Chain A
Amino acid sequence: MAISREEVEHVARLARLELTEEEIELFRGQLSAVLERAQRIQALDLEDVPETAHPIELSNVWREDVVVPPPDSEAILSNAPERDGPFFRVPKILEDAD
């Protein structure tokens, strides 16, 4: 079950990872090895088996709607790499209009 260089690059783009040349080659081989083994599950007969995404039965969990003190926004913002008063500052989001 070899995965291609293009697949690694595609998945890296989806995951917003910027890989070096060496990483692409390294991960291509290592991911292929993991999937190679996991391919055993393709051979199992699981046709009528339902999926389990979570170990416990979940339904809506309700609580009383009561006012509690908000988190300390200063403590939260103090972790920001860059801030502007009460805002998180980021580099520009939109392309320049040429």
Chain B
Amino acid sequence: MTYTELWRLSATELSSLLERREIKAAEVAESVIGRIEQTEPKLNAFISRTGDAAVRHGARIDEERARGIEMGSLAGVTVAVKDIFCTKGIRTTAGSKILDNYKPPYDSTVWSHLREARTLMVGKTNLDEFAMGSSTENSAFGPTRNPWDTSRVPGGSSGGSAAAVASGMATISVGTDTGGSIRQPACLSGIVGLKPTYGLVSRFGMVAFASSLDQAGPMTRTVRDAALVLREIARHDPRDATSIPGDRPDYVAGLGRPITGMRFGVVKELMGEGMQPGVSERVREALVVLEKLGGIVEEVSLPSFGYGLDAYYIIAPAEASSNLARYDGTRYGLRADAPDVQKMNRATRESGFGAEVKRRILLGTYALSSGYYDAWYGRALKLRTQIVRDFERAFEGFDLLVSPTSPTTAFRIGERIDDPMQMYLSDVCTIPTNLAGTTAISIPCGLASEDQLPVGLQLMGPALGEATVLRAAFAIEDELKFSAARAMGTIA
């Protein structure tokens, strides 16, 4: 390992080298920026790049450290921020033409915490427009490509973040997860992605998609890095009325403790049809690993999970149709020329929104409209209750629930874009956790034999179960020795 390849190191590794002053933060930034210059043309993971500021901030950190000023463990670590988090004065597009030139007048709370932790932001990452999608193909700024195979999608909606972290164009990233948008791209790109409990991380300054489901979380190459990032961003925030009050536990402290006697429920409804044989194979091997580590693994049937997708694709579009009413060409963003306000609103939205966003606005408006509300939205909310109850029942007998994160490995660019239903099926395993507001992680568990692409294992925990989820994920990662670093070599 030479210091010219600092981009390969995890936050944990960089942190100890920086603390011992064996390397400089400016060198970390320069190494990662060099990697971006080499790799970004092949992947299109970023919408905006902020490398110059990262080097400047790195130099300031080095200067302060030289004067003996103590800093936290993420100081000098590079971060890529999903372009859905508002960053003061720095363009924030949400992947949409309608926000092409939007410069937020304030910082999101997530970015404030990372800025105060002295992370170095190297850029804002690509995403499906307004986080609506599972492939990053719905971005107004072009699709992101998967570092493992550039003819394939990285997953979505946080696909830019997943590709950046998997390829070494950032040490860590933060994404958002409304129906799987952290976990599914983490899975398809071979990295770790954690969706925290609803309310654990502040939503303030996150461009809203579906407000009862949206949650921010870490995307990293190791479980320990995910815990480090979560420790920084999981804080109560008075500016988010749905923020859970009180202190959070130290998510790093419990890592490494044995998982002997931990009970794992394998969700029958998420192990069935549509699962690629190579995915099934790796997931079943991971279950054997859990047993080897002293875990108790049993199957559990949660019938409502079979309907999660149906409830989600009513509820999320319904909330989105309301949230996206704000894009009317008046206060910020795009405005189309028209003689009166109504025409201006319509023309702005017609030219500013992409096809998937329009589709969801229409679907949501339909489900909420007079005469259809009870049959669609109302029933979906009842089904949501069933899913909450099934989770509660399962957690009486199990510590964690297990499934694949995605039923398939990364699909080809263009393969599902014209068939929304096929695209939506990518989220079938991740959606129940969002509907219940609970937590889940995706960790890589090897490569599928048929295509040599990453497979993800999902561990689902109860509300505020992050410490348990991380502890189990850490134990499996340690045993599997899957290396995300491998992807970094394949495309260089």
Nearest chain-B residue to A64 (Cβ)? Answer: B238
Given A14-B365, A63-B238: A41 in contact with B344 (beta carbons within 8 A) = no
Choose one: B212, B347, B379; the contact of A42 (CB below 8 Å).
B379
In angstroms, Cα B88 to Cα A78, docked, is 13
**Is there contact, CB below 8 Å, between B361 and A15?**
yes
**Is there contact, CB below 8 Å, between A18 and B347?**
yes
* Shortest Cβ distance from residue A93 to the other chain B in the assembled complex, whole angstroms: 5
**Is there contact, CB below 8 Å, between A58 and B339?**
no
Q: Point out the residues of chain B lying under 8 angstroms from A44, CB to CB.
A: 307, 379, 383
Q: Point out the residues of chain A lying under 8 angstroms from B325, CB to CB.
A: 15-16
**Is there contact, CB below 8 Å, between B332 and A80?**
yes
* Shortest Cβ distance from residue B156 to the other chain A in the assembled complex, whole angstroms: 18
Say yes or no: is B264 at the interface (Cβ < 8 Å to chain A): no
Among B244, B330, B362, the one with the most A-chain Cβ atoms within 10 Å of its Cβ is: B362
In angstroms, Cα B380 to Cα A34, docked, is 14
Nearest chain-B residue to A50 (Cβ)? Answer: B385
**Is there contact, CB below 8 Å, between B437 and A16?**
no
* Shortest Cβ distance from residue A51 to the other chain B in the assembled complex, whole angstroms: 4
In angstroms, Cα B342 to Cα A92, docked, is 9
In angstroms, Cα B380 to Cα A44, docked, is 11
Nearest chain-B residue to A29 (Cβ)? Answer: B420
**Is there contact, CB below 8 Å, between B199 and A91?**
no
Nearest chain-B residue to A36 (Cβ)? Answer: B421
Against A, the Cβ 8 Å flags (1 = close, 0 = not) of B315-331 are 00000010001001111
Choose one: B334, B382, B463; the contact of A81 (CB below 8 Å).
B334
Choose one: A31, A46, A51, A55; the contact of B359 (CB below 8 Å).
A31
Say yes or no: is B291 at the interface (Cβ < 8 Å to chain A): no
Say yes or no: is A25 at the interface (Cβ < 8 Å to chain B): no
* Shortest Cβ distance from residue B217 to the other chain A in the assembled complex, whole angstroms: 15
Q: Point out the residues of chain B lying under 8 angstroms from A17, CB to CB.
A: 346, 349-350, 353, 358, 361-362
Say yes or no: is B71 at the interface (Cβ < 8 Å to chain A): no
In angstroms, Cα B310 to Cα A41, docked, is 7
Q: Point out the residues of chain A lying under 8 angstroms from B437, CB to CB.
A: 54-56
Nearest chain-A residue to B375 (Cβ)? Answer: A42
Say yes or no: is B282 at the interface (Cβ < 8 Å to chain A): no
Q: Point out the residues of chain A lying under 8 angstroms from B238, CB to CB.
A: 63
Say yes or no: is A90 at the interface (Cβ < 8 Å to chain B): yes
User: How big is chain B's contact interface, by range?
Assistant: 35 or more
**Is there contact, CB below 8 Å, between B333 and A19?**
no
**Is there contact, CB below 8 Å, between B335 and A82?**
yes
**Is there contact, CB below 8 Å, between A14 and B369?**
yes
Q: Point out the residues of chain B lying under 8 angstroms from A42, CB to CB.
A: 375, 379
**Is there contact, CB below 8 Å, between B331 and A72?**
no
**Is there contact, CB below 8 Å, between A81 and B363?**
no
* Shortest Cβ distance from residue B200 to the other chain A in the assembled complex, whole angstroms: 10
Say yes or no: is B436 at the interface (Cβ < 8 Å to chain A): yes
Say yes or no: is B279 at the interface (Cβ < 8 Å to chain A): no
**Is there contact, CB below 8 Å, between A81 and B333?**
yes
Choose one: A12, A40, A46, A79; the contact of B332 (CB below 8 Å).
A79
Q: Point out the residues of chain A lying under 8 angstroms from B242, CB to CB.
A: 54, 56, 58
Choose one: A49, A56, A91; the contact of B385 (CB below 8 Å).
A49
Say yes or no: is B311 at the interface (Cβ < 8 Å to chain A): yes
Say yes or no: is B43 at the interface (Cβ < 8 Å to chain A): no
Q: Point out the residues of chain A lying under 8 angstroms from B344, CB to CB.
A: 90-91
Segment touching A, from B98-106, B253-261, B405-413: B98-106
**Is there contact, CB below 8 Å, between B105 and A91?**
no
Q: Point out the residues of chain B lying under 8 angstroms from A81, CB to CB.
A: 329-330, 332-335
Against A, the Cβ 8 Å flags (1 = close, 0 = not) of B22-45 are 000000000000000000000000
**Is there contact, CB below 8 Å, between B386 and A46?**
yes
Give 5 nearest A-B pairs by CB, closest first.
A55-B437, A75-B105, A81-B335, A51-B381, A79-B332
20 extra A-B contacts, CB within 8 A, seeds A34-B313, A51-B385 = A15-B365, A17-B350, A18-B350, A19-B350, A23-B358, A30-B359, A38-B376, A41-B310, A44-B307, A52-B382, A53-B384, A54-B437, A55-B213, A55-B463, A56-B242, A75-B103, A79-B105, A80-B332, A81-B330, A93-B341
